[in-house]
Structure 1
């Protein structure tokens, strides 16, 4: 590929070392893939526990392992709604919502229309006998009742921006962008993609086995039309995302590194000045074409730079022709009407300069300090050392992946709690929770021993068990002022959800029933397990930026996976209103934090947690210790717990409910007759959250006591 083989080989090997140092190596890629596949499995399991036939997928760079810390890739979440989308009448099924894919001279390549069919026999719905005009989700063309692609626009996530088929969450400090895509699944392989199964390049890739697997994944249809389609509200894009993920999983490390370098070049040199007209998906498509059309022995570490130049050359040719053929559906041009003439010339010039630089342009890439690191590896004068070692980077990636999984567990538990919560109280919530746990147990028994589904269900079971124990105990305390063996058994099953939240729910119930000795024992045991140097709080109640994980936390995860959640993370402690008898009076105020006026300021979707009592583990641990030692008249221990509560609020950076911790501290100060300090706590709490804060009531109560 070059007249300077020694130079290209040297740069390629050094570049491979740099990418290895920033976490692009086989072990980390496999870890990324496992964690994101586990996340999507957990989301799907959560829906199934509620009886919903939905499947959740996380596509894109995160689940492929084709990203780095500096690329900060977004998360593409696809929610697959269960309809029977068919391409042939033989695929029709009774008592299902059947939709027939239609492709004709009016539809763009890679797109289709969806015709609504009857569910009692394989026939179209007769538009002549419709009782009423087609609604906002359907339209009639000729004798066909067609489904509009605007169907899912109304269910976009609050605060999101519609971007093609996706609702994008953007602009949240400390968070990557997230794209939410609704889709329908078709079990059969797209007719337009049949030629791909027979196509074979000189690279002998993909293999026949990979193609067969891809074919068996079928396809999705997503609600978006082509740029130049005739039916803006009716066209649905045919997506082969599952097949593309399979293709990515079949790549070797050099091919993945090549793709990552292309994305860095795109982000550094091209898209900032060209309105982001080229996408990472185009880079992926270019890579696929290159792999298919080059010999497989080219894709080795010592040939990384020539492989990159080959990909950039193909990308340049695609831009020149304004045609980037979809790898699987060739007729679908990914660049159709995307690139203006001005941007086209800009991109061609940039790509030409990068290609001619023979790798020197890579020295200018700031992402992950790639350029600086390469200069150091090449002993180029003027290079300076970077501040993160490979070990630190690998630890940071592993820690973030673990926090992501812990976040998924917390989010699923929160979601399930919200779905089963009921205004009619304890008995119905108890029944709902019992049914969910019964369903979970059945699912667990039915799946394979080493499956991701089994791992996901093992993570979801303990927090649900703690919740059921607390719901039962709350009823026990109300009716008999005791905790039944049934409740204690469920509490026991939930102790190892994480470091502290399950234990704190048990301790809270024991305190409320007046069993101070056992409450003290559980709290002491919890404090011993809660290593302040390594345990990280995890709150999924609302989106709030997290500070950098503590060093001790990060260093624990290079060799472990999701099983470390129970040892090194602490979920926030959540009580539904039907658990009120397991909640000390001071925390009960949080369940009634919102006045009618406050409720008008709440987000209906994301602020439902405000009807619960929710508190971070560590401050709640010290608060319960303060209350328990006070009841036991152990004054020195009581004051130590109070001091620890103050220190935690002041120094723990990642508290999700600091205002609640301050409200608890203020009420402790009232018990100490330190009314000015209590008022100070409430005022700081209000500065953090002015609305929907129990401090508003607590201040009024305190002032009333002082005055009277």
Structure 2
């Protein structure tokens, strides 16, 4: 492999081709970044809509585009409330705000601080004696000051029912989803410790002066994490310049990003499995920043990728030898402090030495994304794959996952907004009206291609369908009709996705007795619901993450971004209790699925169990069964019933399979197939033993079976 006189250039170009094939290229990086930024914009917009001054950021590899399928990078989510203000000096104090004064002295570690609690009516510290009269578990007295403990945000989160995982918390709310969120406070000014960075300049002329000026405007976060060697484990807060670092990452060229990804692959393959995970990807990023700053920019080209990688690994070796990896923005903060034992230091150094001396041959052993095997093929050193995923297929696969993630985010937000309402018809109607009108104003006020505009466009239709259904339910109850206003809101919500908005309209039409129109909407929905293309999305329940997608879905995702949701995604259909008159009686039973004992066993994310919720596809076939029955179209009715049975048996991604089985059981009862109905309810109960309407449906059908047997005997 190393006999070629242009060896480094040859390997670099082949390695660049391999990375391009696994979608480490400009197109995918930009797409990853857009999806991450869109997600955080949707979440932050939702909190604003609900009057909550909470901002959400997605940092790390997913938002940077510096990952691959094989790296399996987590999403790093940070959230903060703007109601709390961190200040560096008294001149920044503002009346009426909860202010925290940042304190750094000889006892705090570099890159960390203490936070002193201040009065909000005048620029003075809160007196220590006040805690004697008003104890607060978030605060403590130390060195004559009232300080905020770094467990303070966690205590608040626990009170809200969050699950704690180290410094992070999890809950079924926007901004978190399946990931952990680190709570933080924000300071608008640039950290004093980082002032020298603004004037420091290396031979790479990077970061540029414009970038530094922008970074200075982003301020910084303080995160509830203490240093490894700090004297104040409960009181220290880490200074985070994540927003500035995002700016730096977004400025990198493709070779620099590929170098970073290769470093992370080396870390995960050769170092951390053998050395207790002592090095972090953030250290790799920091090494990369130092190398770019201290290397001429013309070195970072595709034909020099391997040499750039070896340069970064050599710098990492030097940092390891000194046991000092200086934070890029605050160099006094040693990222390796207290992390590396003498034994692991020797082991990591030996591994790095072996990799750098191999001149790239070690890369052939990297299994992630088949990088090693792909490189062998490019170098004509290996046999062809038995199964080879093409770059186009890889791009479609990653794109489909991102689209599902965005759809999951929309689904979670919809639940979160509905949960925020008291389930009374008038109040829900007023709040939903306010929300939809606010979203409309937000949409009109935004720039043509802004992320905020795209976020609002994705969130509004589901709320419009809910508003139309709430209003229609009231109409049906009072006038046995659906008002033009309700129909208008239904119309706005039709394109929320492939099916759920249309099914809410069809459900209302069925309940008001307009069977012809209901049948038309259902037929239209079935025509749009391509079983080879559409993916169902439900975030009501915790279920294993399924990474596989339909081929047709992946193919559709190849060219589109978030606008494909209305053509390829089917959300579950959700009805609040105040929508009862738009819900067939068979589904209404789901609103009363829980006994008192069941409610005590619920998880905090299971608030939807007081609603009627069903997956779109089985509900489509159930409504067809009922509508065709009312129209006396027997053959079509039986075809719909067969489709409902097949869907329950074959669709692997149903989030509410037990509800679909309960609906099927009630269809079987109407078919006088009571034993089959009982079987459906028993299977349903096996899937969800608690909070399941099957419990009383079983009692009803058993009573019917017994009565029929008695009548037969008589």
TM range (shorter): over 0.9
1:462-488 per-residue CA deviation (whole Å, 9 max, x = no partner) reads 000000011111111112211111111
Report the Cα distance in structure 1 between the residues aligned to 2:502 and 2:471, rounded to whole angstroms. 16
Question: Which string of whole-angstrom CA distances, capped at 9 and with x for unpartnered residues, describes residues 429-474 of structure 1?
Answer: 1112112222222222332222101110011110000000111111
Q: Distance in 2 between matches of 1:370 and 1:381?
A: 12
CA distance in 2, matches of 1:46, 1:370: 40
Q: Tell me, which stretches of 5 or more residues in structure 1 are unaligned?
A: 170-174
Residue pair 1:223, 1:235 contacting (<8 A) in 2 also: yes
2:480 corresponding residue in structure 1:
481
Matched-pair contact (CA < 8 Å) for 1:592–1:694: yes
Q: Which residue of 2 aligns with 1:450?
A: 449
**In 2 relative to 1, CA 76–348 (structure 1 residues): closer, same or farther, beyond 3 Å?**
same
Alpha-carbon spacing, 1:381–1:463, altered in 2? closer, same or farther (3 Å): closer
Normalization by structure 1: what TM-score? 0.96
Following the alignment from structure 1 to structure 2, what is the Cα–Cα distance between the partners of residues 5 and 622? 67
Match of 1:94 in 2: 95
Q: Distance in 2 between matches of 1:223 and 1:148?
A: 8
Residue in 1 that maps onto 2:31: 31
- The answer (yes or no) to whether the contact 2:154–2:164 under 8 Å persists in 1 is no
Encode CA deviations 1:632-664: one digit per residue, 9 max, x unaligned.
101011011111111111122211111111111
Query: Aligned pair in 2 of structure 1 residues 160, 346: CA closer, same or farther (>3 Å)?
Result: farther
Do 1:72 and 1:176's aligned partners in 2 also have CA atoms closer than 8 Å?
no
Of residues 134-143 and 574-583 in structure 1, the stretch that sits farther from structure 2 once superposed is 134-143
Aligned to 1:69: 69
Task: Write the mapping of 1:262-411 to structure 2, written as runs, cut at 5 A.
Answer: 262-382=263-383, 384-411=385-412
Shift of 1:383: 5.6
1:328-348 per-residue CA deviation (whole Å, 9 max, x = no partner) reads 000001111101111111111
Q: Secondary structure at the match of 2:40?
A: helix
Q: In structure 2, what is the equivalent of residue 167 of structure 1? A: 169
Counterpart for residue 682 of structure 2: 683
Return closer, same or farther for 1:215/1:408 CA change in 2, 3 Å cut-off.
same
Q: Map of 1:600-619 to 2, 5 A cutoff?
A: 600-603=600-603, 605-619=604-618
Q: SS at 2:6's partner residue?
A: helix
Structure-2 change in CA distance of 1:524 and 1:133 (3 Å):
closer
Q: Using the TM superposition, name which of 280-289 and 86-95 deviates more.
A: 86-95
Unpaired segments ≥5 residues, structure 2: 708-714
Cα separation, partners in 2 of 1:130 and 1:681, compared to 1, 3 Å: closer
Answering whether residue 76 of structure 2 is matched by residue 109 of structure 1, we say: no
Contact 1:118 1:124 in 2 (8 A): yes
Asked if the contact 1:75–1:176 (Cα under 8 Å) also holds between the matched residues in 2, the reply is no
| Partners of 1:648 and 1:593 in 2: CA distance | 23
Q: How does 1:36-185 map to 2 (within 5 A)?
A: 36-82=36-82, 83-128=84-129, 132=133, 134-154=135-155, 155=157, 160-163=163-166, 165-167=167-169, 178-185=179-186
* Contact 1:590 1:660 (C-alpha < 8 Å) held by counterparts: yes
Q: Is the 8 A contact 2:162 2:169 kept in 1?
A: no
Decide whether the 8 Å contact of 1:73 with 1:176 is kept in 2: no
Distance change (3 Å), C-alpha of 1:362 and 1:198 = same
Provide, for residues 273-326 of structure 1, a one-character-per-residue CA deviation record: whole Å limited to 9, x for no partner.
211111111111111011111111111001111111111111111112111110
Is the 8 Å Cα contact of residues 134 and 140 (structure 1) preserved in structure 2?
Answer: no
26-35 or 655-664, which moves further after superposition? 655-664
How far did residue 356 of structure 1 move?
Answer: 0.8
Separation of aligned partners in 2, 1:17 and 1:159: 44
**1:512 matched residue in structure 2:** 511
For residues 184 and 45 of structure 2, the distance between their equivalents in structure 1, rounded to whole angstroms, comes to 18
With over 3 angstroms needed to count, the CA separation of the structure-2 counterparts of 1:220 and 1:132, relative to structure 1, is same
Per-residue CA distance 1:47-101 (angstroms, 9 max, x = gap): 0110001100011000000000111100111111111211122211111111111
Over 3 Å counting, the alpha-carbon distance change for 1:289 and 1:147 in structure 2 is same
User: Does the Cα contact within 8 Å between 2:465 and 2:490 map onto a contact in 1?
Assistant: yes
Aligned ranges 1:499-578 → 2 under 5 Å: 499-545=498-544, 546=546, 548-578=548-578
Q: Deviations over 1:199-232 (max 9, x none)?
A: 1111111111111111110000111111111211
Which whole-Å deviations, capped at 9, do the CAs of 1:664-694 have from their partners, x for residues lacking one?
A: 1111111111112111211221222222111
Worse-superposed segment, 374-383 or 501-510: 374-383
Following superposition, the deviation at residue 5 of structure 1 comes to: 5.9
Distance 1:488 1:178 in 2: 38
How far apart, in 1, do the equivalents of 2:440 and 2:505 lie?
22
Structure 1 residue 176 displacement after superposition: 11
Aligned length: 699
Q: CA RMSD in A?
A: 1.8
- In the aligned structure 2, how far is the partner of 1:539 from the partner of 1:129? 48
- Whether contact under 8 Å (2:225, 2:236) holds in the other structure is yes
The 10-residue stretch of structure 1 (47-56 or 644-653) with the greater mean CA deviation from structure 2: 644-653
- 1:17 and 1:38 map into 2 onto residues whose CA distance is 29
**Do the aligned partners of residues 129 and 419 (structure 1) sit closer, same or farther apart at CA in structure 2, a change above 3 Å counting?**
closer
Could you say which residue in structure 2 is the equivalent of 1:594?
594
- TM-score, normalised to structure 2, is 0.95
Q: Deviations over 1:367-406 (max 9, x none)?
A: 0011111111111045645431111111001111111111
Judge which range, 676-685 or 326-335, deviates more. 676-685
Q: Determine if the alignment matches structure 1 residue 461 to structure 2 residue 460.
A: yes
Distance across 1 between alignment mates of 2:557 and 2:382? 36
Once residues 12 and 651 of structure 2 are traced to their aligned partners in structure 1, the CA distance between those partners, rounded to angstroms, is: 44
More displaced stretch, 80-89 vs 453-462: 80-89
**Bigger mean CA offset, 212-221 vs 122-131:** 122-131
Separation in 2 of the partners of 1:643 and 1:3?
66
Structure 1 residues 196-207: aligned runs within 5 Å: 196-207=197-208
SS of alignment partner, residue 448 of structure 2? coil
The question of 1:641 aligning with 2:640 is answered yes
Q: Determine if the alignment matches structure 1 residue 414 to structure 2 residue 415.
A: yes
The alpha-carbon distance between structure 1 residues 386 and 297, as it changes in their structure 2 partners (threshold 3 A), is farther
Q: Counterpart of 1:626?
A: 625
Mapped to 2, the partners of 1:381 and 1:38 lie a distance apart of 41
Q: Distance in 1 between matches of 2:359 and 2:87?
A: 50
What residue in structure 1 maps to residue 712 of structure 2?
none
CA contact (8 A) 2:165 2:180 kept: no
